[in-house]
Structures are given as C-alpha cells and as structure tokens.
Amino acid sequence: MKKTILSYIKFAGAGLIASIADNLTYFILNHLGVRDSFALIAARVVSLIVNYFLLQLAVFQNGKRQDSFPRYILLVIFSTTILYFLMQWIEGLLPRIDPVFIKMVLEFIMNFFNYAVARFFVFDDKKEKPVHEA
C-alpha cells in the first residue's frame, strides 16, 4: 500500500510537469484562435513526450516492457478521445466557461484512471510464472 501511494505521488508529479507543458501549449494555441481539436492534439503531443519519459525513468522504472511506448500511445489516444468528447459536451452545456478550465477539471478526474492503466497495462512487466512440475 505504501509503495502504491509513493508511486501515485511520483505519477502525479510527472503528470503535473507534463500538464504544465500540455496546458501551456493548449492555452497559447486556443488564445491564438486555433480550433479546440487541433490545440488539444498539439498539446497532447507535447505532453505525451514529456510524460512518457518521466513515467519510464522516475515512476515505473521497474517496468521494462519492450512494448510500453505503443501501449502508452494507445492510452493517450483513448484518454484524449474521451477528453475531447467530454469537453465538447460540457462546452455545449456551459458555453460561458473557459475551455481551458473545463479541460483542466476533466484532466484531474481522468488522472486516476490513467494511473491505473499505466501501472497495470503500460509499464507492468510481470509475466505469467511458469508452472514447475514435481
């Protein structure tokens, strides 16, 4: 339990750093008049690169899956798709709220889901233990 809490704190720290890069990119592009969909994708690319390396090097360093990067890409695509559709829905319901704020709230909520998937699907390198016959 203690190891999981420490791992999540590291995950949150890596996410905070990547989130700063992500939100700064999104904020700049959004306020330059770039469409939400393109701004979101560009912000995700920046965040993806920063976050993957932080997770691999500092958080899940024991997970040495050879296929962790493609799995991480799948997580990002899935998470981004959900985020995009939720943003569109909420912006339609609450048009006076800044899209940057909506995005930040949704990202906070999705962070818990992303941790679980990263821990057990992306970086987990546990293989089935072979059965030894006596």
Range 46-70 average pLDDT: 85
pLDDT of residue 128: 44
Assess whether pLDDT exceeds 80 at residue 126.
no
pLDDT of residue 59: 86
Full-model pTM = 0.70
Measured CA to CA, the distance from residue 92 to residue 17 in angstroms comes to: 29
Measured CA to CA, the distance from residue 71 to residue 61 in angstroms comes to: 16
Q: What confidence tens digit (pLDDT) does each residue in 60-112 have?
A: 876 677 888 899 999 988 998 999 999 999 999 999 999 989 988 998 889 88
Domain residue ranges in the chain: 2-122
